[in-house]
A and B are shown apart, each in its own frame.
Chain A
Amino acid sequence: MLGFVLLLFFLAIALGAPYIAPPKSARDPYMMPIVTWSANPLPPSPEHPFGVAGKRDIFYGVIWGTRTAFRIGIVVTVASTLIGLAVGSVAGYFGKLVDEILMRITDIFMAIPFLVAAMVLTTILGAGLDKVIIALIVFSWMYSARLVRGNILQVKEEQFVMAAKALGVNDFMIILRHVLPNSIFPVLIQASMRMGSLVITAAALSFLGIGAPQGYADWGALLNYARNWMLGGQGEALRYWYMTVFPGLAMVLFVLAWNLVGDALRDIFDPRLRM
């Protein structure tokens, strides 16, 4: 329940971004406007409710960053799930050599740690948000491919698939009409659970400074501004708490929302695990 409420809250923020934090100029609204010329962070004030970091308004960044998070999460999840569905269903349905080859390829893509792989491909393609999205898609389809394949191996033995085969329905139609609809729910649950980790990884890339460009409204990029100020000794860092807390809170709640929604979906579709 809480998950759905949180998600609706974020959705409202993303949709209402132009009204909550109106862009100052007609230029790209995703670029956080520069509000001060001093490099020092400024604490929250009526004018900048979340403070100022890296010369930019944190409130503006958090609000528009919600859109960035949704965009990355949804685009990558949908694309990687579709690729995974295609690969997994072909492998699972045809079996034998096709299955062996496709699954070994899947293994190879999984052999490089996700964050490292995404990092490498992003740097090779040249930094930028679209490159991050491509890199994340290339290295995240395997999880749904494996899941789909496993489910299809089970469904394939069912009598309605045998019946369709006996009636002479072609392979493509059998996969699309009979096999996939019966194995789609676990894939959807997994996709919503993966949304959180994808958004974390994308933000991690921006945090490391190889994702979103300088000044782009992205939670990871905002936290990147905070990094150096957190190393100050003797209570120094606590003076700059707002730099970490506001973008950090947005991230945690966003990921939490997706994880809770994934949990809830799983409980609905697969009550055995709830117990």
Chain B
Amino acid sequence: MIFYVLRRLLFLPIALFGVSLLIFAMIGLLSPYQRLATFINSPERLKSENVDKLISQYGLDDPIFVQYLRWLKNVFQGNLGWSYVGKGPVFEVILERFPYTLELTIFSVIPIIFLGVSLGVISALHHNKLLDHVLRIFAVVGWSFPDFVFGLIILMVFYSTLGLFPPGNLSVWAETIVKSQAFRHITGMLTFDSLLNGRLDIFWDALRHLLGPVLTLTYVEFAFILRITRSSMLEVLQKDYVRTARAKGLEEKVVINKHARRNALIPVATVSGQTVVGLLAGTVIVETIFNRTGLGSFMALAAQQLDYASIMGGTLFFGFILILGNLCVDLSYAFIDPRVRLE
């Protein structure tokens, strides 16, 4: 186990280094003029100074590896440039917005896994019967739904017609309170902060605003978990130990819950981890449609406005999160299933 963990940890810096190279290579496709924009924090400076002089001042015409090392040094110092979209240093803007995205992910992953697993088990137990077919069709349709189509339909039906699931992060009145001095920001996540501040009304408001995006992500993502649970469950149900359990006269409920489901959930655990990591990054569209503040909508906005500093900083951050997240998933998998460690 120790060796497995060490081996994985050893690869961590290599992976991070690789990602930084890849991102820098993409930056390299930009002309020096476009790259200069990431250093300038007010348009007035471009008017008053000579652009070519600025380029050599920032060393944008240096050899590429010199530029890479300088960029890397800046990254280590948390200096990712000036965000035009976020109106602040990129790193600060990212840190401020990330909790919103994390919050959405946490609230989405619960129904996704719960629905995926429970419907997957039901589907497997009704193998090839009507219920199984209905659930599978329900799942494959959800799987085929682009999140922006489903999100627009949710907005059209629930928000515009029924007045439910409002877009945004908070209502105006709640936002005024949250932005006031009296409201303490601890986690940066609205639901948790409001609870810690003892404001149930704000908690409820934040939750109401989360429902639309959560519903969208749930329907689009749960199908994958359902599919894995179903096939894993079907496989386990044919195992000898399940037959033994039945043969010794155990109640069917005990056989399913204790003997079959527990073993069937091992592959589901890895896939769930991947889903969490994927969700963190997959909020770009949902946050944009529901007008939410977050890292995803920040990236979309930066891409639309060609704000290169924000795009690069955000990508680096996403890469960082994804690598760390996948590492956690792998390590926890080795913990759940000892066979992995031997590889």
Q: Measured between alpha carbons, how far is A25 from B267 in the docked complex, in Å?
A: 56
Interface residues of A in 102-118 (CB under 8 A from B): 104-105, 107-109, 111-113, 115-117
What's the minimum C-beta distance from B70 to chain A, rounded to whole angstroms?
A: 20
Is A210 an interface residue, CB under 8 A from the partner?
yes
CB pair A233–B160 under 8 Å, yes or no, is: yes
CB pair B144–A223 under 8 Å, yes or no, is: no
Of the candidates A108, A238, A244, which one forms a contact with B152 in the assembled complex, judged by CB atoms under 8 Å apart? A244
Is B338 an interface residue, CB under 8 A from the partner?
no
Chain A residues with Cβ below 8 Å from B143 are 259
Is A121 an interface residue, CB under 8 A from the partner?
yes
Chain B residues with Cβ below 8 Å from A116 are 281, 284, 299, 314-315, 318
CB pair A107–B15 under 8 Å, yes or no, is: yes
Q: Measured between alpha carbons, how far is A263 from B141 in the docked complex, in Å?
A: 13
Chain B residues with Cβ below 8 Å from A108 are 15, 18-19, 21-22
Q: A111-B18, A124-B26, A237-B155 are in contact. Are A251 and B315 (CB under 8 A)?
A: no
Is B319 an interface residue, CB under 8 A from the partner?
yes
CB pair B156–A244 under 8 Å, yes or no, is: yes
CB pair B146–A113 under 8 Å, yes or no, is: no
Chain A residues with Cβ below 8 Å from B141 are 252, 256
Minimum CB distance partner of A207 in chain B? B148
The B contact surface, by secondary structure, is helix
CB pair A123–B144 under 8 Å, yes or no, is: no
Of the candidates B29, B306, B323, which one forms a contact with A111 in the assembled complex, judged by CB atoms under 8 Å apart? B323
Is B176 an interface residue, CB under 8 A from the partner?
no
CB pair A120–B303 under 8 Å, yes or no, is: yes
What's the minimum C-beta distance from B190 to chain A, rounded to whole angstroms?
A: 21
Complex interface bits, B91-105 against A, C-beta within 8 A gives 1, otherwise 0: 000000000000000
Q: Measured between alpha carbons, how far is A255 from B141 in the docked complex, in Å?
A: 9
CB pair A263–B140 under 8 Å, yes or no, is: yes
Q: Measured between alpha carbons, how far is A65 from B322 in the docked complex, in Å?
A: 33
CB pair A235–B160 under 8 Å, yes or no, is: yes
Is B300 an interface residue, CB under 8 A from the partner?
yes
Interface residues of A in 85-116 (CB under 8 A from B): 104-105, 107-109, 111-113, 115-116
Given contacts A230-B156, A230-B160, 9 further A-B contacts (CB under 8 A): A124-B30, A226-B152, A230-B152, A231-B291, A238-B161, A244-B156, A252-B144, A256-B144, A259-B144
Binding site for A on B (CB under 8 A): 11, 14-15, 18-19, 21-23, 26-27, 29-30, 127, 140-141, 143-149, 152-153, 155-157, 159-161, 163, 167, 231, 234-235, 278, 280-282, 284-285, 288-289, 291, 299-300, 303-304, 306, 308, 311-312, 314-315, 318-319, 322-323, 326
Query: Would you list the 9 A-B pairs with minimal beta carbon distance, nearest first?
Result: A113-B281, A237-B160, A108-B18, A256-B144, A248-B149, A255-B144, A200-B146, A237-B156, A230-B155
Binding site for B on A (CB under 8 A): 104-105, 107-109, 111-113, 115-117, 119-125, 196, 200, 203-204, 207-210, 220, 223, 226-227, 230-238, 240-241, 244, 248, 251-252, 255-256, 259-260, 263, 273, 275
